[in-house]
Amino acid sequence: MDLAKSWMDLCKRDHAMCRAYQEAGWNTRNKSQLPTRVLDLKGSRLRCTNGKQFGDYAVLSYCWGDSNKIKTKRVNIESLQRNVPLDQLPRTVREATEVARMLGFLYLWTYCLCIIQDDKK
């Protein structure tokens, strides 16, 4: 984890592309604009943003196949905003939450939680 943290610090400090994003306004006070929904790693709940909030977040993209594990749908989005039962998430997502927390991220974006699966929009 220490090595990964040092790489992230190096990226923010020394990489021209990361600095260019910041200078272009894609980053406010070294925080990225949050997507409309993220998993709040501190409170273990789905956080719906107004698109104008900023924070540090990681993204998990993975093949989740036919998983019967928890997914955000119109019927359960309100309960997930109160609490996401981490023990019901696929192992990949559970492990990603642990790693993201260790790296200092406040939020995690992942398909199964941050996209409403039964909403065509």
Assess whether 48 and 20 both reside in one domain.
Answer: no
**Average pLDDT of span 112-120:** 92
What is the tally of structural domains in the chain? 2
Give the CA distances from residue 15 to residues 4, 7, 12, 18, in Å, rounded to whole numbers and listed in that order: 15, 11, 7, 5
Please give the Cα distance from 119 to 57 (Å, whole number): 24
Assess whether 64 and 19 both reside in one domain.
Answer: no
Tens-place pLDDT, residues 46-58: 999 987 888 889 9
Assess whether 55 and 20 both reside in one domain.
Answer: no
Which range is least confidently modeled, 21-25, 35-39, 54-58, 77-81? 21-25
Assess whether 17 and 69 both reside in one domain.
Answer: no
Sheet holding 37-40, edge to edge: 45-48, 37-40, 107-110, 57-60
Tens-place pLDDT, residues 77-92: 999 999 999 999 988 9
Supply the mean pLDDT for the chain: 86
Which range is least confidently modeled, 3-12, 21-30, 106-115? 21-30
Assess whether 56 and 99 both reside in one domain.
Answer: yes
Assess whether 1 and 40 both reside in one domain.
Answer: no
The answer as to whether 74 is a domain residue is yes
Assess whether 104 and 66 both reside in one domain.
Answer: yes
User: At residue 69, what is the residue type?
Assistant: K
The residue range of the domain holding 41 is 34-114
Q: How does residue 26 score in pLDDT terms, banded at 50, 70 and 90?
A: low
Close Cβ partners of 61 (under 8 Å, ≥ 6 residues apart): 110, 111
The answer as to whether 120 is a domain residue is no
| Three-state secondary structure readout of 17-45 | HHHHHHHCCCEECCEEECCCEEEECCCCE
**Average pLDDT of span 29-49:** 88
Assess whether 100 and 43 both reside in one domain.
Answer: yes
Is a pLDDT exceeding 70 seen at residue 37?
yes
